[in-house]
Structure 1
C-alpha cells in the first residue's frame, strides 16, 4: 500500500490518496478514469511529488487521514524533505520500490 501526493503544474493544489498499485492509480488519475478523475481532472492534479509505503491498508488509511488533517505548510515541509524541488516522480524509475 502507498500514500501519495499529487499536485498540478502550478503547485497550487495538493491531492492525497492511497493505493496498492501506484503506477495504475497514476494512470487512472492522468486519464480521468472512474472516480480517480473527478477531483484530479478538475484541478489537473496528476503530477506525483510524494509517496510512502505503508505495510497494510489500515495503516495507509490512517496515514492518509493524518496527512489530510495537516496544514498546507506542514504538507509542503513533508514534500520538501522527500522531494526538495517538487520534481515530478516517474513511477517507472521507482519500480524497485513500488
Structure 2
C-alpha cells in the first residue's frame, strides 16, 4: 500500500528520505466531515461521508485529504484526536 501524507509546510523545508513536498491543486467543491476520536475508527467516518455523497449524487473528483487538527503530535490521548476528512467532489450526471 502506498501512502501520501500532506501538511502545510514552510517553503524552505528540505526533503529527506520518504518526506516529499507536493502542492495540492485547488478544489472547487469538497465533501467534508470531522472525525472525533481514534484513527482506528476513521473507516466508519469515511463510510458515512461516502454514503452521504451517494445519496446526494456526488462522485469523487480528486485525491482524498485528511487534516489532523488534533493528533499524536499535540495530544497522546487518541480518544480526543480530531481529523477532518476532505473529499473533492463533482455532481454526477443523472441518467433518465
Higher helix share: 1
* TM-score over 0.5 (shorter chain): no
TM-score, normalised by the number of residues in structure 2: 0.30
